[in-house]
Amino acid sequence: MVWEPPHRIVLSWDISAEWKYDPKLGTEVEVRFVSEGPDTTRVDLEHRRLERYGPQAETMQATFDSEDGWSSILRGLKTFLEIGAPLRDFAPTPQAAINADRRTEHNTR
């Protein structure tokens, strides 16, 4: 969608709440690379248009915000860049969605 090296990239995220490809979903993931010095770069990630998930939007937000969500992917990337360790499969899993749903349920009580 947008490619502005070395500053940012915006991608279409078309994975449904059932973890299947849905070309009509059209949420967006923006990743920004912010220089904080000669050897330091901050990576900011924003996943937007989550309202397109409809009734599952809150659960999906909790899934992406969970320890198994985007932060896990960014931690893995950081580790790989720092020490060259191979990345494991960091894709959010259905179990992460279930755990996030339980946290959301608990927080609304």
Domains of the chain: which residue ranges? 2-107
| Mean pLDDT, all residues of the chain | 83
d(CA 79, CA 73): 10
d(CA 73, CA 54): 25
Q: Using 50, 70 and 90 to split pLDDT, how confident is the model at 90?
A: very low
Check residue 33 and give its pLDDT.
93
Across-strand partners of 48? 28
More reliable by pLDDT, 91 or 70: 70
Question: Span 21-36, mean pLDDT?
Answer: 95
**Nearest CA among 61, 5, 1, 57 for reference residue 33:** 5
| 103: its two tokens | 């946290």
Check residue 109 and give its pLDDT.
43
**pTM across the whole model:** 0.71
Q: Which DSSP symbol is given to 25?
A: T
Cβ(46)–Cβ(37) under 8 Å? no
* pLDDT tens profile 32-83: 999 999 888 899 999 999 999 999 999 999 999 998 899 988 888 888 888 8
Q: Using 50, 70 and 90 to split pLDDT, how confident is the model at 25?
A: very high
